[in-house]
Amino acid sequence: MPIHPLFDAGTIAERVAELGHAITRDYAGKDLVVVPILKGSYVFAADLVRHIALDVAVDFLGVRSYGDDQNSSGVVQITTDLSRSIEGKHVILVEDIVDTGLTISYLYDNLVTRQPASLKIASLLHKPARTRVPVKIDYLGFTIDDVFVVGYGLDYGQKFRNLPYLGIVANEDR
Ligand code: IMP
Interatomic CA distance for residues 70 and 149, integer angstroms: 10
18-31: pLDDT as tens digits: 999 999 999 999 99
Catalytic residue among 99, 109, 155, 173: 99
174 pLDDT more than 50: no
Whether the model pTM is above 0.85: yes
Lowest-confidence region among 7-16, 62-71, 110-119? 62-71
Q: Percent of the chain at pLDDT above 90?
A: 89
Q: In sequence order, which residues have a C-beta less than 8 Å from that of residue 7 and are 6 or more positions away?
A: 15, 142, 165, 166
pLDDT attached to residue 74? 73
Which are the contacts of 29, defined by CB distance < 8 A and separation ≥ 6? Answer: none
Ligand 1: residue whose CA is nearest its atom 8: 72
Percent of the chain with pLDDT over 70: 95
- Cβ of 151 less than 6 Å from ligand 1: no
Residue 130 has what DSSP assignment?
A: G
Q: Answer whether 104's CB lies under 8 Å from 35's CB.
A: no
**pLDDT higher than 70, residue 172:** no
